[in-house]
Amino acid sequence: TQMDRPGAGEDKVRDWVGNGASMLVARALADSMHPDAHHKEGELYEAAYLAFLKAYAESNGRYAQIYPGVEAALEKWSQQKVPLAVVTNKPMLFTKALLKSLRLSRYFHFVVGGDSLPQKKPDPAPLLHVIQQLDAEPEACWMVGDSINDVQAGRAAGCKVAAVSYGYNHGEDIADSEPDLLVDRLDALDLTLVANFETDEDSEG
């Protein structure tokens, strides 16, 4: 309404989420999942982007809730000394504030936001950056996410991929992205299973 436009509605906006704040604003201006280039630049875009950042900062975390099983899984993995990182397309400022408000910051060794690097998911660069920081190999790491961006980024980085059945995924079923593992709750991920998981391709090789 600040831009003299009708509200898009929650259902439509949920489908637009997942590719970072700049793309979300462009989709809102275009009222489409696939905005044209002119929706991503110019005075209108700049004004809309600044208005979005201001509104987001004022409401960040106000309605956020942790999904069942998430904190239990993080606590279990933390106790087992599993290094954990957050890789999100959300701007870093909002990501750190949200993790702090939800009291989840303590679980993560590294946090990479959508503006930490030039690339965002589904580009593998943010994942590869974290893997390098952890001094690990991609094939020894798991990408755990809730969207096709996460699955594609994990695949491109050379990681195995586990997905949860909830969250934002542009209105599509995450199972269609064919992750290696799919669970309804994060605490359903068995670390023993994950650590020893082999795909059919691995076992054939």
What per-residue confidence (pLDDT) applies to 191? 58
**pLDDT value at residue 193:** 55
Q: What local confidence, expressed as pLDDT, does residue 181 receive? A: 94
Q: What angle do CA 9, 14, 18 make, to 5 degrees?
A: 140
3-state secondary structure of 144: strand
Q: How far apart are CA 131 and CA 140, in angstroms?
A: 9
Please tell me the predicted confidence (pLDDT) of residue 180: 94
pLDDT of residue 150: 96
Task: Write out pLDDT tens, residues 145-186.
Answer: 999 999 999 999 999 999 999 977 777 899 999 999 999 999
Please report, for the chain, the start and end positions of each structural domain, with discontinuous segments joined by +. Answer: 10-59, 70-204
Walk along the chain (205 residues) and give the pLDDT tens digit of each residue.
Answer: 566 777 887 778 777 876 777 888 888 888 888 888 777 788 888 888 787 778 777 777 788 899 999 999 999 999 988 899 999 999 899 999 999 999 999 999 999 999 999 999 999 999 999 999 999 999 999 999 999 999 999 999 999 999 999 977 777 899 999 999 999 999 999 755 555 555 444 444 4
Phi and psi at 163, nearest 5°, equal: -130, 150
Q: Which two tokens stand for residue 105?
A: 């910051």
Question: What is the C-alpha to C-alpha distance for residues 138 and 196, in angstroms, rounded to an integer?
Answer: 15
Closest CA to 142 of 77, 203, 62, 48: 77
**Three-point CA angle 142, 144, 149, nearest 5°:** 110
Percent of the chain with pLDDT over 70: 91
Position 148 scores a pLDDT of 92
Query: Domain 70-204 falls in which CATH fold?
Result: Rossmann fold (3.40.50)
- Interatomic CA distance for residues 83 and 78, integer angstroms: 7
Contacts of 110 (CB under 8 A, 6+ apart): 85, 86, 130, 133, 134
